[in-house]
Amino acid sequence: MKLLFDRIDQPNLNRLDTYRERGGYESLRRALAMSPDEVVAEIDASGLRGRGGAGFQMGKKASFIPKGDMDKYLVCNADESEPGTFKDRELMQKNPHQLIEGMGIAAHATGCNRAFVYIRGEYDYVADILEASLREAQEAGLLEHVILVVHRGAGAYICGEETALLDSLEGKRGNPRLKPPFPANQGLYQGPTLINNVETLSTVPHIIRMGGSEYAKLGTETSTGTKIVSVSGHVQRPGNYEIELGMSSRDIIFGLAGGPPEGRRVKLWFPGGSSSPVLTEEHLDLAYDFDSMAQAGSMLGSGSIIVVDDTTPVLDVAKWVAKFYTHESCGKCTPCREGTAWTLAMVERMDRGEATPMDLEIMSGVQEQIIGHCLCVLGDSMAMPIASMVKHFREELEEHIETARARREGLPVGDAPVPPEQVAV
Amino acid sequence: MTGTESGAFGVPRFAHGSRVPGWDRAADLEKDPEEVPDPATTPVPAELRAEIEEYMSRYPRVRSASIPALRAAQRHHGWCSPEAIEQVACVMRMTPAALTEVATFYDMTETEPRPPHHDVFVCTNISCSLRGAAEVYDAVCAAAEGEADIHARSFECLGACDIAPMASVDGVYVGPLEPADAATIVDDLRAGRPVLEDKQLARRPVADEEARA
């Protein structure tokens, strides 16, 4: 079942006439003939959960937007920067009108008169495509109820966090805000703001076309619909795949993406981008949906599977994760700013052979002090996967630490007997 | 650092007196607080002014245009120099300090002197590193060594893990790369050709076979 990815490689799909030939903008026309409340009710009935990471129901979020005559804003979060995630890029590059139509419908449903697409600065070429398509739609008079602007960022992972995104869109440094108030009440320019991910908004035209209750029949009861899964890392066919939620994780990793190269085994996998706690081989048969991933102690996140096979040491993965979040911490909250840097320093120390297995305890302690203690979840996004790696791979990490230490101190590596002259007294 | 020298308190300054920006630098105690630049004494290239004013017109509040305006100034000057920031401040009627804090925050706004150059961003995040990004990055650095107008740097996830290991060359995504591609990238840039044409992401079909037309 392909909705978002339906014939996505059709030539010139980014052109208005091609998109219209296959029924594009019909949903917008139909939505504009409905009352805003009816549109919100359809979205609510679909059970669509946010595709950006948090998985909050879009219909609920839209219903939080206050009614009445005031400046209200719709913001599409296209700051896709989560390591392992590249679905929004393909959606916007190949089918930009689908997103524009979804935004038109969402703006009507919530009464937003201004809309912005906050696209990450590195996606300049995608922004060019999106802007060209937007101009076509505006010139054709399809978006008369809302002023839509494509806003390009300048490279900051934190701007994918909704309140940091709003500050950045207001022209400031991308620092997260204290919540509450939530953006639905006080968001952009202090006005009510609905923020949704590219994939979420791109799904909206399909919900209006099919009807909310029909859409809800796809997927599982609490994870309805289809999802674009970005599979990367040690797989033979990395890429984006549209699946129905609830499909077995093994079928995605091995069936669609081809699994790790011959003769190698899956050691660990991130089910929802680098921020999600890692899972192991024994979790491969879990259904890929919001609840199954949460029950296994992880999360569906942005729907990005990163597969790591048995040729890569876990400590290397921890180092890449820690390095990324250290670089991207905005520096506003101390536990995150200091905690990420501390964790990176400790992981590097382990790798250099200057640590003892006891440092794993200290490192886990640092993670506990980050989680839940900051304005946003950037710190948690490092702490949770690092803590999960220590939990699932403690033996390997201890061995890595001991081996590195022995190598550094010139001692024999592994189980070889220690020469008597080197035995510490 | 070119064109700068250390002033009092060890604060690096440009020849015309402005402090070199950077969050980790000491506070500048010598200089008066900057004010909104005077249009009469701050010449702004007409082309740049027009572009910034166009950005300002897109938003309900002009300050929202600061990132696009700074990027426009960077395209014009090669980097966000104090002069560039002053020009943006003059057009937007903001203080240079408010824009400097934005310019130092983001990865794509350069606050260190750099002549006009080609950017080669090599992704070294998880998915690319799993597939050999370290070797590719070393090869790109080696190939770009001595080429003053090619600026190679490692970058965080660029959102193209399907072509890992990958790089963004002046905004064009290419991959999957091998260390041998580094020399081709430099040659293509030298010759002004499209970079690694057969490895450009824009030409790649979707991985999901059932989604193909």
| Cβ distance of B131 and A114 shorter than 8 Å | no
Could you list the mean pLDDT of each consecutive 10-residue stretch along chain A, which spans 425 residues?
94 96 97 97 97 95 94 97 96 97 98 97 96 98 97 95 97 96 96 97 98 97 96 97 97 97 96 97 97 96 97 97 96 95 96 94 95 96 97 96 92 65 61
DSSP β-ladder status, A279-280 and B4-6: unpaired
pLDDT at A143: 97
**Residue among A24, A28, A23 at smallest CA distance from A39:** A28
pTM of the model: 0.92
On the question of pLDDT at B84 being above 80, the answer is yes
CB-based contact, A199 to chain B, within 8 Å: no
Query: Pairing between strand B4-6 and B12-14?
Result: antiparallel
Closest approach of B92 to chain A, Cα-based (Å): 11
Please report which confidence band the pLDDT of residue B1 belongs to, taking 50, 70 and 90 as the band edges. very low
With beta carbons less than 8 A apart as the criterion, state whether B121 and B168 touch.
yes
In this complex, how many residue pairs, one in chain A and one in chain B, have their CB atoms less than 8 Å apart?
Answer: 179
Q: Do A238 and B129 touch (CB under 8 A)?
A: no
Cα–Cα distances (Å) from A341 to A161, B25, B134, in that order, read 20, 19, 21
Task: Compare CB distances from B67 to A6, A114, A153 and report the shortest one's residue.
Answer: A153
**Residue (of B74, B174, B75) closest to B122 by Cα position:** B174
pLDDT of residue B28: 67
- pLDDT at site B48: 97
Any chain A CB within 8 A of the CB of B203?
A: no
The answer to whether the Cβ–Cβ distance between B71 and A84 falls below 8 Å is no
A-contacting residues in B 64-83 (Cβ below 8 Å): 64-68, 70-71
Min Cα distance A252 → chain B (Å) is 11
Does any CB of chain B come closer than 8 Å to the CB of residue A313? no
Picking from A9, A81, A84, the nearest residue to B213 by CB comes out as: A9
Residues of chain A neighbouring B67 (CB-CB closer than 8 A): 121, 151-154, 168, 171
The predicted pLDDT at position B3 comes to: 45
CA distance between the termini of chain B: 53
Q: Give the Cα separation of A351 and A110 in Å (integer).
A: 52
Contact yes or no for A319/A355 (Cβ under 8 A): no
* Predicted pLDDT of residue B30: 73
3-state DSSP helix/strand/coil percent for chain A, to nearest 5? 50, 15, 40
Is this complex scored with an ipTM above 0.90? yes
| Mean pLDDT computed over every residue of chain B | 89
Let me know the angle formed at the C-alpha of A220 by A210 and A182, rounded to the nearest 5 degrees.
Answer: 80
Candidate from B108, B208, B213 with C-beta closest to A10: B213
Alpha-carbon distance of A27 to A19, in angstroms, equals 12
Least CB–CB distance from A174: residue in B105, B205, B207: B105
Are residues B126 and A169, on separate chains, in Cβ contact within 8 Å? no
Residues 54-113 of A with CB under 8 A from B: 71, 80-86, 88-90, 93-94
Residues of A within 8 A of B134 (CB-CB) are none
Phi, psi (degrees; rounded to nearest 5) at B54: -65, -40
What are the chain B neighbours of A329 within 8 Å (beta carbons)?
none
Closest-approach residue (CA) in chain B for A325: B156
- For residue range B86-132, list pLDDT tens digits in order: 999 999 999 998 999 999 999 999 988 888 889 999 999 999 999 99
Burial A6-19 (b: 16+ CB within 10 A, else e): bebbbeebbebeeb
Residue A66 backbone dihedrals phi, psi, to 5 degrees? -60, 150
Helix (H) or strand (E) holding A280: strand A279-280
Q: Which residue has the tokens 């001692």?
A: A411
Q: What is the pLDDT of residue A411?
A: 79
Query: Residue B207, class by beta-carbon neighbours within 10 Å (0-12 exposed, 13-18 middle, 19+ buried)?
Result: buried
pLDDT digits (tens, 9 = 90+) for B8-34: 566 666 666 666 666 566 666 777 777
Judge whether B125 is closer than 8 Å to chain A, CB to CB.
yes
Cβ atoms of A130 and B83 within 8 Å: the answer is no
Cα diameter, chain B: 66
Residue-level pLDDT at B40: 92
Instruction: List beta partners, residue A241.
Output: A229
Which residues of chain A from 122 to 141 reach within 8 Å of chain B, CB to CB? 122-125
- Chain A contacts of B213, Cβ < 8 Å? 7, 9-10
Whether the upstream peptide bond of residue A181 has omega within 30° of 0, thus cis, is yes
pLDDT at B11: 64
- Rounded to a whole number of angstroms, the CA Rg of chain A reads 23
Does the CB of A148 have a partner CB in chain B at under 8 Å?
no
Question: What angle, rounded to 10 degrees, do the helices at B82-92 and B66-77 form?
Answer: 140
